[in-house]
A and B are shown apart, each in its own frame.
Chain A
Amino acid sequence: DGGITQSPKYLFRKEGQNVTLSCEQNLNHDAMYWYRQDPGQGLRLIYYSQIVNDFQKGDIAEGYSVSREKKESFPLTVTSAQKNPTAFYLCASSIRRGGYEQYFGPGTRLTVT
């Protein structure tokens, strides 16, 4: 089955700890994205990657970091510098960046207390 997987589904962390969210795709897509979703708001772009070993900041990159060492994987680290990290995080991919359809993973709900 082709698709995007995110793990874990739920994640709980104490304030001040870094945490890494996993995103894997087997669609052979070049582009991958991380979004954050808060209640009553649209998705906001955190980071995107157009190709392996390349990534660019989105609209709300502060307090987050990413890596793209493999085409299939695009992990997101939420650092202690992120002021309000509790949110629903969605990973997506597309054939390439541009006007191509984006496919989404099931999401990870992060709660920081």
Chain B
Amino acid sequence: KQEVTQIPAALSVPEGENLVLNCSFTDSAIYNLQWFRQDPGKGLTSLLLIQSSQREQTSGRLNASLDKSSGRSTLYIAASQPGDSATYLCAVRFPNNDMRFGAGTRLTVKP
């Protein structure tokens, strides 16, 4: 069964710290992987999309990496700010077109 796991479920860090969020998936034959941000009670905002042929994508202070062989992706956030507080979800698209979402990591950046 294709599953996506995000650990930890919650993370609290002081402002300015660099941090890494983890996403793991059970089937290495993926099509692509997408990282989203979700604020409380809101929809999902796409942050980065990594195709299976890519190793990483960068956008501003965000860097997402993909290691298909180990079934892992990480989202690196540099110099965290209180405005980064949100839930971060990863979603994996498998070759059968199924898209599976992790349960998310709830990030709190304390001033």
Residues of A within 8 A of B43 (CB): 4, 6, 90, 104-107
Residues of chain B from 55 to 94 with CB closer than 8 A to chain A in the complex: 89, 91, 93
B97 touches A42 (CB 8 A): no
Contact bitstring A72-108, B, C-beta under 8 A = 1, else 0: 0000000000000000101010000111011111110
Report Cα–Cα, A28/B62, bound state, in Å: 29
- Chain A: residues with Cβ within 8 Å of the partner, total of 23
Query: How many A-B contacts at CB < 8 Å in the complex?
Result: 52
Q: Give chain B residues whose Cβ lies under 8 Å from the Cβ of A109.
A: 41
Q: In the complex the two chains form, is A107's CB within 8 Å of B41's CB?
A: yes
Query: Whole-angstrom distance between the alpha carbons of A41 and B5 in the complex?
Result: 10
B49 at the binding interface (Cβ < 8 Å): yes
Provide the bound-state CA to CA distance between A90 and B38, in Å: 12
- Decide: B46 and A99 in contact? CB cutoff 8 A: no
In the complex, are the beta carbons of A42 and B44 less than 8 A apart? no
Q: What B residues does A35 contact at CB under 8 A?
A: 101
Not counting A98-B97, A101-B34, A103-B46, a sample of 14 additional A-B residue pairs whose C-beta atoms are within 8 angstroms of each other reads: A42-B104, A90-B44, A92-B44, A97-B97, A98-B93, A99-B31, A99-B51, A101-B49, A102-B46, A102-B99, A105-B43, A106-B42, A107-B41, A107-B43
A-B contact pairs, 19 of them (CB 8 A): A4-B43, A41-B103, A42-B91, A42-B101, A42-B102, A42-B103, A43-B91, A43-B101, A90-B43, A97-B97, A98-B31, A98-B93, A99-B32, A102-B46, A102-B99, A104-B43, A104-B44, A104-B46, A107-B41
Instruction: Using CB atoms and an 8 Å cutoff, list the residues of chain A in contact with chain B.
Output: 4, 6, 35, 40-45, 88, 90, 92, 97-99, 101-107, 109
